């Protein structure tokens, strides 16, 4: 290896950032501009996989950056959970870029340069989040992620986009500033450190009332995890172009949220402390309520992207539950579900975008009979749905399996019942879409000429759909990474 591991780590954050000037410079030449993005994403994948190899070999990689405040540094450290998250985000960036080329051009979107620039900044901050070595660093990149995705949400510039942007920014910024920042400062003040440490940072004599309150602040403060009542931003963000919804609001942004929840639970509180906190139970049931309610709301949505958004809210609840169960299986399940749900949901969003570009349909009721003209898209949709529901032979099975085991270990029967109910609801709101597309007649009017979406988009969605199946059979590395968190 000709580069020090530390350099590689910094490069993963900088490479997407360096792409930005290139993208702006190539403003007038769309091919070159997308070329820059793709090159950057390929380099990123190379970097992330190299890092993965190093971590597998047991190299510990940590960097202490400049001190923001005395004793409080910008610091980065690679641990298994962050490795997993960055692998997922890095791979899917390339796929999404390929997809976006087809989508954005097929949809004749304006301001594509701004779109790709902000996208790259967002990915850079995702890398920063996944490798953050302390809460402060995590918080910084968390906020950068919020701000860099705002222009993407309001991309179209319509009054509706403006409205959505307000909700998006309003919820995410207020929760993070009001609860998360306060919790971080309070942690710094009580524990004297905000570094992520195995087994938590709080000294044993800390009053339970303080740690209990802090947990509530953290869970609400990480608004990106979309625990009710702070989930409104996610449906609001659906005004964005579909590639944004796909990568950011099914993978990067929301997963940054649950990733932070997992990190806080494991490395700030520590599972032993978490198990003793009464407020953990409260938050657990709130997450369970989110899972159920969001599924019910999803059933009532006719707009495909809105339905997927609520489905995401519900699935994020799973991961939060996994974290708050404070059992080994729960954590493993939560971590695995980050990856599994990412592949499943991004497939569904890709399909939704493909349908919008090719058939100009956004409402589910209009999609009957679409399977004949867009078979590949609809098959992919079917596979994605299976993964979200958690049925074999798709990767989603494993995530849910381990979370269930976690609930069983913790002896939380209510949670198990909720998880099962929610899976049934998943079937009810997802499967009818592809089934009706294949087995029902066209919605109305005479059949119009509908073809499949542009080739790049089609490639991308087939790739992620296959990924869902692949992850069912090839789970071992993922499981090893996830269980390494607890060692």
Partner 1 sequence: MTAHFPILQVIIPLLAAPLCLFIRIPRIVGIFAILVSATAFFISCSLLQEVVTGGTLSYQLGGWAAPWGIEYRIDKLNGYLLLLVSGISTIVLVAAQTSISKELPENRHTFFYTAYLLCLTGLLGILATADAFNLFVFLEISALSSYTLIAIGTDRRALTASYQYLVMGTIGATFIIIGVGLMYMMTGTLNMYDLAERLPAVYESKTVLSAFGFFIVGVCLKLALFPLHLWLPNAYAYAPSITTAFLAATSTKVAVYVLIRYIFSIFGIEFVDMSLPLGDIFLFLGLTGIFVASVAAIYQLNIKRLFAYSSVAQIGYIILGLAIETELGLTATLLHLFNHALMKAAIFLAIGAVVYRIGSAQLSHYAGLGKKMPWTMAAIVAGGLSLIGVPLTVGFVSKWYLVVALLDKGWWPVAVLVLISSLIAVIYVWRVVEWIYLTPPRIITDEIKEAPMSQLIPIWILVLANIYFGVDTRLTVGVSKLAAQSLFGVN
| Residue ranges that bind partner 1, judged by CB under 8 A | 66-70, 74, 136, 139-140, 143-144, 147, 151, 154, 157, 161-162, 165-166, 169-170, 173-174, 177-178, 181-182, 185-186, 188-189
Helices (H) and strands (E) counted in the chain, each on its own, are: 21, 2
Q: Which is nearer to partner 1, 2 or 69 (CB)?
A: 69
Q: Which is nearer to partner 1, 174 or 440 (CB)?
A: 174
* Rounded least distance, CB 154 to partner 1, Å: 6
Are 23 and 80 in contact by the 8 Å Cβ rule? The answer is: no
Of the candidates 437, 423, 329, 340, the one whose C-alpha atom is nearest the C-alpha of residue 379 is: 437
Q: Which is nearer to partner 1, 69 or 444 (CB)?
A: 69
* Rounded least distance, CB 303 to partner 1, Å: 23
* Rounded least distance, CB 111 to partner 1, Å: 9
State how far the Cα of 305 lies from the Cα of 313, in Å rounded to an integer.
12
* Rounded least distance, CB 19 to partner 1, Å: 18
Q: Which is nearer to partner 1, 122 or 367 (CB)?
A: 122
State how far the Cα of 352 lies from the Cα of 360, in Å rounded to an integer.
10
* Rounded least distance, CB 191 to partner 1, Å: 13
Of the candidates 367, 266, 368, 380, the one whose C-alpha atom is nearest the C-alpha of residue 325 is: 266
State how far the Cα of 44 lies from the Cα of 48, in Å rounded to an integer.
6
Q: What is the CA radius of gyration of the chain?
A: 21
* Rounded least distance, CB 170 to partner 1, Å: 8
State how far the Cα of 381 lies from the Cα of 225, in Å rounded to an integer.
24
Q: Which is nearer to partner 1, 45 or 178 (CB)?
A: 178
CA angle centred on 335, ends 95 and 245, rounded to 5°: 35
* Rounded least distance, CB 218 to partner 1, Å: 15
* Rounded least distance, CB 159 to partner 1, Å: 9
Q: Which is nearer to partner 1, 147 or 293 (CB)?
A: 147
Full DSSP string of 307-372:
HHHHHHHHHHHHHHHHHHH-SHHHHHHHHHHHHHHHHHHHHHHHHHHHHHHHH---BGGGGTTGGG
Q: Which is nearer to partner 1, 35 or 170 (CB)?
A: 170
* Rounded least distance, CB 141 to partner 1, Å: 8
- Is the backbone peptide bond immediately before 137 cis, with ω within 30 degrees of 0? no
Q: Which is nearer to partner 1, 192 or 199 (CB)?
A: 192
Structure tokens at 469: 């199946």
Q: Which is nearer to partner 1, 166 or 361 (CB)?
A: 166
CA dihedral of residues 180, 182, 183, 186 (deg, nearest 10): 160
Q: Which is nearer to partner 1, 224 or 307 (CB)?
A: 224
Are 261 and 323 in contact by the 8 Å Cβ rule? The answer is: yes
Residue with tokens 């009810």: 428
State how far the Cα of 224 lies from the Cα of 230, in Å rounded to an integer.
9
User: Residue 303 in 3-state DSSP?
Assistant: strand
Q: Which is nearer to partner 1, 173 or 391 (CB)?
A: 173
In the DSSP assignment, the letter for residue 197 is -
Residue 451 backbone zone (phi > 0: left; psi -120 to 50: alpha; other: beta):
beta
* Rounded least distance, CB 70 to partner 1, Å: 7
* Rounded least distance, CB 166 to partner 1, Å: 7
Q: Which is nearer to partner 1, 136 or 404 (CB)?
A: 136
State how far the Cα of 381 lies from the Cα of 123, in Å rounded to an integer.
25
* Rounded least distance, CB 37 to partner 1, Å: 20
Of the candidates 384, 462, 374, the one whose C-alpha atom is nearest the C-alpha of residue 426 is: 384
State how far the Cα of 203 lies from the Cα of 190, in Å rounded to an integer.
9
Are 274 and 381 in contact by the 8 Å Cβ rule? The answer is: no
């Amino acid at each position: 290896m000709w580069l020090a591991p530390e350099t590689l780590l910094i490069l993963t954050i900088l490479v997407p950032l360096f792409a930005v000037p290139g993208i702006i410079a190539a403003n007038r030449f769309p091919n070159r501009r997308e070329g820059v993005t793709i090159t950057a994403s390929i380099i990123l994948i190379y970097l992330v996989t190299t890092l993965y190899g190093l971590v597998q070999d047991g190299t510990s990689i940590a960097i202490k950056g400049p001190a923001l405040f005395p004793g409080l540094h910008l610091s980065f450290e690679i641990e298994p959970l962050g490795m997993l998250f960055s692998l997922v985000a890095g791979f899917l960036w390339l796929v999404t870029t390929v997809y976006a080329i087809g989508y954005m051009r097929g949809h004749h979107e304006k301001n594509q340069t701004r779109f790709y620039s902000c996208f790259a900044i967002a990915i850079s901050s995702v890398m920063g989040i996944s490798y953050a070595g302390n809460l402060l660093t995590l918080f910084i990149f968390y906020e950068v992620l919020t701000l860099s995705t705002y222009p993407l949400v309001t991309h179209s510039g319509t009054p509706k986009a403006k409205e959505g942007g307000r909700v998006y920014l309003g919820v995410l910024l207020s929760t993070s500033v009001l609860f998360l920042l306060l919790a971080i400062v309070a942690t710094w003040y009580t524990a004297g450190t905000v570094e992520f440490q195995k087994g938590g940072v709080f000294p044993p004599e800390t009053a339970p009332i303080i740690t209990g309150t802090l947990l509530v602040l953290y869970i609400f403060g990480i608004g990106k995890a979309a625990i009710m009542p702070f989930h409104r931003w996610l449906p609001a963000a659906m005004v964005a172009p579909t590639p944004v919804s796909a990568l950011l609001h099914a993978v990067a942004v929301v997963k940054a949220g649950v990733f932070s929840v997992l990190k806080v639970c494991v490395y700030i509180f520590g599972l032993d402390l978490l198990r003793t906190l009464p407020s953990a139970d409260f938050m657990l049931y709130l997450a369970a309520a989110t899972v159920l309610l969001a599924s019910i709301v999803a059933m009532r949505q006719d707009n495909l992207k809105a339905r997927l958004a609520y489905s995401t809210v519900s699935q994020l609840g799973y991961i939060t539950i996994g974290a708050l169960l404070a059992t080994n299986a729960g954590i493993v399940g939560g971590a695995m579900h980050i990856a599994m749900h990412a592949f499943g949901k991004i497939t569904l969003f890709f399909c939704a975008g493909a349908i919008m570009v090719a058939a100009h349909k956004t409402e589910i009721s209009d999609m009957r009979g679409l399977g004949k003209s867009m078979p590949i898209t609809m098959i992919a949709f079917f596979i994605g749905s299976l993964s979200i529901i958690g049925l074999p032979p798709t990767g989603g099975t494993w995530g849910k399996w381990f979370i269930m085991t976690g609930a069983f270990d913790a002896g939380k029967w209510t949670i198990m019942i909720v998880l099962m109910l929610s899976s049934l609801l998943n079937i009810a709101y997802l499967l009818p879409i592809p089934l009706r597309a294949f087995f029902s007649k066209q919605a109305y009017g005479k059949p119009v000429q509908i073809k499949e979406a542009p080739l790049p988009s089609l490639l991308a969605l087939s790739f992620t759909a296959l990924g869902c199946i692949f992850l069912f059979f090839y789970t071992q590395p993922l499981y090893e990474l996830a269980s390494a968190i607890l060692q």
